[in-house]
Amino acid sequence: PARLVVLVSGTGSNLAALLEACQDPAYGARVVGVVADKDCAGLEHARSAGVETTVVALRDYPARGHWDVALAEAVGVHDPDLIVCAGFMRLLGAAFLERFPAMVVNTHPSLLPDFPGAHAVRDALAAGARRAGATLFWVDEGVDTGQHIAQVEVPVLPGDDEESLTARIKAAETPQLIEQVGLLVRSAGPGRP
Ligand code: GAR
């Protein structure tokens, strides 16, 4: 099976779904490491699945570039085939991306290029958007600018707040992530930029 390393910063519901999908040998992947930038609930999902966890906190490094190198090292020890950002709320810098070319995907809770950044759901509501969704894309150095792999749309409904819309997006985002990561690892890699 392909070796997945998952990067998390938060609750880790997408990570939990990936861990579950990987139980099926036909899925073609297993999570060999989970790396976070802070202590977070996502790490618990990894620990209870017996997956090795590492925290690489930005504040422990004198500069962003040093953190990038340390993060790359923490990921690299797992010899990954694919790196999945699943609620990882930091930008990856050149040192990281150059070490893992065309190997990093991210799932983002909007219909990119609309609403990039850390508050996509809130921003969509504030803008009065009628449609929302999730985009899986290849990570580059920009803020949610990489080449799209897949996108799924959900409606914004009257009365939605951040919580209700986030839940509706995740209900579509997670199956998309599971399906697309499965397709990526079971293919020889065509489709990568
Ligand atoms: C997901 O909805 C993901 O799209 C979003 O954080 C959530 C993490 O949920 N990521 C971003 O906003 C990245 N800019 P999870 O921790 O429960 O998987």
Query: Which tokens go with 148?
Result: 């799209």
User: What pLDDT, in 10s, does the model give residues 109-135?
Assistant: 999 999 999 999 999 999 999 999 999
User: What pLDDT, in 10s, does the model give residues 48-62?
Assistant: 999 999 999 999 999
Helix or strand or coil: residue 141?
A: coil
Q: Residue of the nearest CA to atom 5 in ligand 1? A: 87
Q: Is the pLDDT of residue 170 over 80?
A: yes
The predicted structure's pLDDT at residue 188: 65
Q: Is the pLDDT of residue 193 over 70?
A: no
Pocket test for ligand 1, best of 108, 125, 173, 180 (most atoms within 8 A of CB): 108
Dihedral in degrees, nearest 10, Cα atoms 187, 117, 112, 123: 140
What's the pTM value of the predicted model, to 2 decimals?
0.96
The predicted structure's pLDDT at residue 191: 45
Whether 31 contacts 18, CB under 8 Å: yes
Q: Residue of the nearest CA to atom 14 in ligand 1? A: 118
Query: From the annotation, which residues make up the binding site?
Result: 12-14, 64, 89-92, 106
Which residue's entry shows tokens 């990093």?
Answer: 104
Query: From the annotation, which residues make up the binding site for (6R)-10-formyltetrahydrofolate?
Result: 64, 89-92, 106
Longest dimension (CA), the chain: 47
User: What pLDDT, in 10s, does the model give residues 14-25?
Assistant: 999 999 999 999
Mean pLDDT of 58-82: 97
Give start and end residues of each alpha helix (H) in 113-161. 120-126
User: What pLDDT, in 10s, does the model give residues 88-111?
Assistant: 999 999 999 999 999 999 999 999
Give start and end residues of each alpha helix (H) in 1-87. 13-21, 41-48, 64-76
DSSP letter at 159?
Answer: T
Q: Residue of the nearest CA to atom 6 in ligand 1? A: 87
Q: What average pLDDT does the structure give for the chain?
A: 96
Contacts of 136 (CB under 8 A, 6+ apart): 105, 106, 107, 108, 148, 149, 150, 151, 176, 177, 180
For residue 65, the CA-to-ligand 1 centroid distance in Å is: 24
